[in-house]
Every structure is written in C-alpha cells, then in structure tokens.
Amino acid sequence: MVYVPVQCPHCQSTEVIKAGKQANGTQRYQCQNGQCARRIFLLQYQDRGRIPEIRCQVVDMALNGSGIRDTARVLRISPTTVIAVLKKSPHTSRRPPRVGTPSSSTRQRRSVGTRGQDR
C-alpha cells in the first residue's frame, strides 16, 4: 500500500481526510483546517469548468468586458458553464433597477368601455 501525501490547494495544510467519492469514481478530500476557505476539493477535476483557476478567469474576463461566447471559446469551456459561474459569483454585480419606470403592478388600468354606465 502506497501513502500519498495530500495537501489542500488553498491553505497548503496536510490535515486532509477522504470525503467520499464522486459519481464518476473520483476521490473527494476534505480539509480539516478551521481557517481554510474551501473545505472539499478534488486532486484532478474532470471538467475544465470546475477548476477554481478557470472559474476565477471567467469572472476576471467578464469584469474586463469579454462576452460570454468569447470567454467560452478562449477558456475552452461551455457558454452555459460561463453563465453559471457568473450567476454564482459575488464579484459580478447585478444592475440596479431602473428608476421612474412603473412596474406592471403599479400601472393604472384604463377602462376600455363604459358599457351600461351612461344609460
């Protein structure tokens, strides 16, 4: 039996335990360091869109003005993955609501006809 030392990729701690397996059979690990920001990780990710460095690049490219299709093409990931990463990212801010535009619930309805009221 071979012992493979595993380090947490975020805090470089060796206090790591096994944390089950993925559906595809890949081993998951959990960092036992209390100050670590990321608890569960894999040694090798199958999807490029799951790699933390790629996810950071997606956010950086979006903040620098790159489009979704451009980002997907450059990083060789799906445009759907780019959208999902941007939705989950706290760094991308949502547009504030428009001021002065009434919503559909506050608009007053006009009566189309005055049937029976004038007679």
Tokens of 13: 């701690």
Give the domain ranges of the chain: 1-44, 46-90
Q: In what order do the strands lie in the sheet with 27-31?
A: 16-21, 27-31, 40-42
What's the pTM? Answer: 0.56
Q: What is the mean pLDDT of each run of 10 residues along the chain (119 residues)?
A: 82 89 91 85 83 92 94 94 92 63 54 59
38: CB partners within 8 A, 6+ apart: 8, 9, 10, 31, 52
pLDDT of residue 111: 54
